[in-house]
Amino acid sequence: MAMNVSSACFSVLSCKKPNRIRAVASEDFATTAALKTDTEDKLKLGGSELKVTRLGIGAWSWGDTSYWNNFQWDDQKLKAAKAAFNGSLDCGITFFDTAEVYGSPLALGAENSETLLGRFIKQRENDNPGEEVVVATKFAALPWRFGRQSVISALKDSLNRLGLSSVDLYQLHWPGIWGNEGYIDGLGDAVEQGLVKAVGVSNYSEKRLRDAYERLKKRGIPLASNQVNYSLIYRLPEQNGVKAACDELGVTLIAYSPIAQGALTGKYKPENPPSGPRGRIYTPEFLTKLQPLLIRIKEIGGNYGKTPTQVVLNWLIAQENVVPIPGAKNAAQAKEFVGALGWRLSNEEVDELRSLASEISPVTGFPVEKL
C-alpha cells in the first residue's frame, strides 16, 4: 500500500473517534471535520434498512497464506491486522467485509478471517462497550452444497466463528454451479429467522442480479447489494450492465479490489512488481503501460493534498451508489483510506481518469463473473 503522504494529507493525522476531534491547524481541522461528517453520513444498502459508512474495509488478507502475506502468517501480521481493525474504527469506518473462505485455517499458523474479525470485535468491546461494528460475510457456493438449508447451516457456522448471534449483511460469494434458486431462498430464510439484517450477492451478472432481486422481492425482502470487482482499471460492471442494473433496481454496488490490489497506489513499478500471485496479474509489462495513468493520478492528488490511493477510491465514490472496500493490512493503510472521504473529484477529473484508464487493457477479473 502506497503511503505517499503529504503534510496536508489526513493520512498523517492520528485518527480519533469522530466525536473527539483534536486541536489542529485550521486547514487540517476543516479536513478532519469534513471526514467526521462524511463517516457519520451513512449510506443505506439498497432498499434495506442497513446503513453503512461510505467506505468499508475488506478482510480478505487477514489470516491468509494462499494469496496474500507472502504465504506466511505470524504474530506480527496478526498484530498489524488488529491495528487495521482498530484504526478503521478510530477513524469512523465501521463496515467490515469478510467471508468463510477468507484466511487459511488449514495452514500452519494461519487463521480464518471470520475468526480473527470476531476476536477483534470482542477485544474492542471490552474497552468500547456498545460501539457500532457492521459485519458482512459470505456464503461459499461450493459444488457439494445444495438448497436453502445449506445457506442457513453455513451462516450458523460463520456466526460461530464470528462469535455473533447475527450479522448485518450476508452475501452469496459467487453463483452456484447447479443453480441459484435454493441459495436465494436460503437468504430469505436467514432474514425471516432473524439471523441477518440484510442480504446480498457477489460476482453476479446483470441477469443473475435481476433474478435474485425478483425472487427476494416476492417475499418482501430487498436485495441490498452486489459485490463485484470494480476499480478505475477494471470497469467491467460499467460495460456488462451490472452497474446500470444496480442503479435501476436500487441495489448498492460494493466494490472489491478498488485499488486493484495495490496496483493503483503507485507503490509498484515495472522493476518492482507485487510479490506472490499478484505478480502474475500485475506484470512488469502491465505496470509499464499503467505509468502514465499513475502519473496523472498523482498530479491530481497533489492538487487536493491527497495520495493516489485516496484519489482512486474517491473516483469510485464519485460514481454514486458505490461502496469501495479496500483491504487493510495495517493501521496506516486504514487511516489512509479514510482520506478518500470528505472531498470530491470534479466531473472533469472523473471523466479524464476514465478516459486515460480506457487506453489500458484490463486485467482478468474473477472468472465466475462470466459463467
Q: What is the DSSP letter of 367?
A: G
What's the sign of the alpha-carbon dihedral 304, 306, 307, 313? Answer: negative
The amino acid that residue 293 corresponds to is L
Q: Are strands 43-44 and 322-324 parallel, antiparallel or unpaired?
A: unpaired
* Selection from 350, 326, 364, 353 nearest residue 236 by Cα: 364
Q: Taking a C-beta distance cutoff of 8 angstroms, is the pair 233, 354 a contact?
A: no
Here the contacts of 241-250 (C-beta below 8 Å, separation 24 or greater) are 241/206, 242/204, 242/205, 242/206, 242/209, 243/319, 244/206, 245/206, 245/209, 245/210, 246/209, 246/321, 247/320, 247/321, 249/46, 249/209, 249/210, 249/213, 249/223, 250/46, 250/47, 250/222
Q: If DSSP codes are grouped into helix, strand and coil, which group holds residue 280?
A: helix
Q: How many CB atoms lie within 10 A of CB 48?
A: 24
Q: Write out the catalytic residue numbers.
A: 102
Residues with Cβ within 8 Å of 128's Cβ and at least 6 positions away in sequence, in order, are 89
* 43-44 and 51-52 strand pairing: antiparallel
Backbone φ and ψ of 162, nearest 5°: -75, -20
CA angle, 323 then 9 then 28, to 5°: 105
